[in-house]
Amino acid sequence: MTKKMTARQVRDTVEWLVVGGGIHGAYITRELLEAGVPQEDIVVVDSHGELLTSFRQKARACGMETLRSNYVQHIGPNPFGLQRFAEARNREEELASTRNSQPRPTVALFLDYADHVIERFELDRVVCERTVTGIERDGSLVVDTTAGTIRAERVVLAIGHGGRYRRPPWGRNVPRVEHVWDNTAHPTGTVNEGETVWVIGGGITAGQVATTIADCVERVTICTRHPLRKALREADPRWLNWNYIEDQLHSLPAGSSARLDRLKRARNDGTMPPYLLRELESLSNITVRQDSIDTVIRERDGLLVAPRQSRCENVDRVVLATGFEPIFEHPFVRSVVNSLSLACGHRNVPVLDDETLAWRTETGECSPVLVTGALAAGTVGPFAGNIPGARRASERIVGEYVTGNRLKRLA
Ligand SMILES: Cc1cc2nc3c(=O)[nH]c(=O)nc-3n(C[C@H](O)[C@H](O)[C@H](O)COP(=O)(O)OP(=O)(O)OC[C@H]3O[C@@H](n4cnc5c(N)ncnc54)[C@H](O)[C@@H]3O)c2cc1C
């Protein structure tokens, strides 16, 4: 493995600074390097100090064995790179066949291929372990981090969902009520044999946790506000096509409530893929209850769960699979918006240039802050925060600022 940067090696002025070393940060960094940007002109600042840590931890914490997306979605340059990687190592059985779709890789295969790409492109060399705390403008961008300031010509925000997990008021600071991402251990290591567990949420993470722990515990109840809904993907695959995105999303004013409504309707949030639903149905100690919780009371030997529409129940543990707090309202994002006077629309959605993903200023110019991941959903569409969104966003950003014919005049 290549070595990541130490604090001393980080230049104090760079061309490109990528905030976040997740799937999106890794993807665009590889694209920038491939497009000819020299290694010394790029720095990736990540709180974990290593690429893909957040994804690795979350995949393990919910017991995910295969990805929801298919084998052409990964951080490498060639859509069939992961398939070839599997074939060359006799690991084709790790490509799970999927009805009406291409196969899905196991998490292990996906991550081994990601490590292969990281090594091949020496992506680790440009990563430094810091947290970005603010961004200001003084000619170039002045990026404040937990270990000093770095000046950059352009900043790519690739911060994912920002690491704030949604917790209902009754689930805060109660022992034995934990959010699934609070732990980085496999879920079977966080429960005890013979326990009864309630899993709150009706999406893929809830299904994943429930099926993973079902073997070790006495009984699992999935408590969901809505009936379980089936969807293979996070959205209709037509949303992978940029022309379709332009037609369906960019035809509506940037930042408008109409655009956000269309985006919301397009996302299959709170759904489970059919293979997971089948597994859920096959496990006799999993019950699905359509309800919501009013309160949870701590008792001497467990918890008393009080649902709104059914009787109270004594349980040993509650696992929240309730997703993330909205990234548009993340305190770090709000601070960048304020210090750089960036434009926001309905519910604080960033107003981006639909062609280049540059965040517009309040006066309408393109700032040198470029956006990928969930924060770019208003322009990239319902797959923005997913793996395919990384490719879509990088195509626009790298195409515009590195390989494109047009040289964008930055505000
Ligand atoms: C368990 C799980 C399974 C998923 N499966 C799929 C799938 O099969 N297919 C699919 O398409 N999508 C999937 N997704 C959704 C999505 O692809 C992943 O969440 C993906 O990891 C998003 O990548 P990202 O780079 O945007 O964010 P992240 O992986 O969250 O990375 C963001 C990084 O930015 C860092 N960061 C944030 N703020 C700062 C800051 N201020 N300073 C420094 N660093 C910062 C964080 O520490 C983190 O390392 C899955 C998500 C989860 C949680």
Q: How far apart are CA 181 and CA 190, in angstroms?
A: 12
Q: How far apart are CA 393 and CA 26, in angstroms?
A: 12
Q: For ligand 1, atom 26, name the residue with the nearest CA.
A: 160
Is residue 283 domain-resident? Answer: yes
Q: How far is the CA of 399 from the centre of ligand 1 (A)?
A: 23
Q: For ligand 1, atom 50, name the residue with the nearest CA.
A: 386
Do 15 and 159 reside in the same domain of the chain? yes
**At which of 287, 320, 353 does a domain end?**
320
Q: How far is the CA of 172 from the centre of ligand 1 (A)?
A: 24
Residue 410: pLDDT above 90? no
| Phi, psi angle pair for 99, to nearest 5° | -55, 135
For the chain, the farthest-separated pair of C-alpha atoms sits apart, in whole angstroms, at: 68
Q: How far is the CA of 107 from the centre of ligand 1 (A)?
A: 14
Do 338 and 397 reside in the same domain of the chain? yes
Do 13 and 110 reside in the same domain of the chain? yes
Is residue 214 domain-resident? Answer: yes
- Verdict on whether the full-model pTM lies above 0.75: yes
Residue 66 Cα: closest atom of ligand 1: 8
Kindly state the average pLDDT of the residues 33-39. 96
Is residue 65 domain-resident? Answer: yes
- Residue of 159, 233, 394 with the most ligand 1 atoms within 8 Å of its CB, for mutation: 159
CA distances to 192, 293, 300, 340 from 317, rounded to whole Å, are 10, 14, 13, 44
Percent of the chain with pLDDT over 70: 97
Q: How far is the CA of 385 from the centre of ligand 1 (A)?
A: 8
**At which of 256, 290, 320 does a domain end?**
320
Do 308 and 375 reside in the same domain of the chain? no
Is residue 56 domain-resident? Answer: yes
Higher pLDDT, 3 or 66: 66
pLDDT for the residue numbered 179: 97
Do 194 and 300 reside in the same domain of the chain? yes
Do 280 and 371 reside in the same domain of the chain? no
Q: For ligand 1, atom 45, name the residue with the nearest CA.
A: 20
Residue 45 Cα: closest atom of ligand 1: 43
Is residue 265 domain-resident? Answer: no
Is residue 248 domain-resident? Answer: no
Residue 53 Cα: closest atom of ligand 1: 49
Do 175 and 302 reside in the same domain of the chain? yes
What is the domain extent for residue 198?
169-232+270-320
Please write the tens of the pLDDT for every residue from 133-179.
999 999 999 999 999 999 999 999 999 999 999 999 999 999 999 99
Is residue 345 domain-resident? Answer: yes
Is residue 249 domain-resident? Answer: no
Q: How far is the CA of 48 from the centre of ligand 1 (A)?
A: 12
Do 99 and 215 reside in the same domain of the chain? no
How many Cα atoms sit within 13 Å of 344 on the Cβ side? 16
Q: How far is the CA of 310 from the centre of ligand 1 (A)?
A: 36
Do 338 and 357 reside in the same domain of the chain? yes
**CATH code for the domain in which residue 212 is found:** 3.50.50.60
- State the CB neighbour count (10 A cutoff) for residue 54: 22
Do 44 and 122 reside in the same domain of the chain? yes
Residue with the two structure tokens 């000619």: 139
Please write the tens of the pLDDT for every residue from 38-60.
999 999 999 999 999 999 999 99
Q: How far apart are CA 160 and CA 152, in angstroms?
A: 21
Q: How far apart are CA 150 and CA 62, in angstroms?
A: 36
Residue 198: pLDDT above 90? yes
Do 295 and 330 reside in the same domain of the chain? no
Domain total in the chain = 2
How would residue 1 be classed by pLDDT, with cut points 50, 70 and 90?
low
Contact residues for 105 (Cβ-Cβ < 8 A; gap 6+): 66, 67, 70, 71, 74, 82, 86, 94, 95, 96, 113
Q: Which residues surround ligand 1 with Cβ inside 6 Å?
A: 19-25, 45-48, 53-55, 58-59, 62, 64, 67-69, 73, 131-132, 158-162, 332, 373, 385-387
Residue 218: pLDDT above 50? yes
Do 46 and 149 reside in the same domain of the chain? yes
Q: For ligand 1, atom 23, name the residue with the nearest CA.
A: 23
Q: How far apart are CA 180 and CA 183, in angstroms?
A: 6
Q: How far is the CA of 57 from the centre of ligand 1 (A)?
A: 10
Kindly state the average pLDDT of the residues 56-81. 97
Asked if 199 contacts 220 with a C-beta cutoff of 8 angstroms, the reply is yes
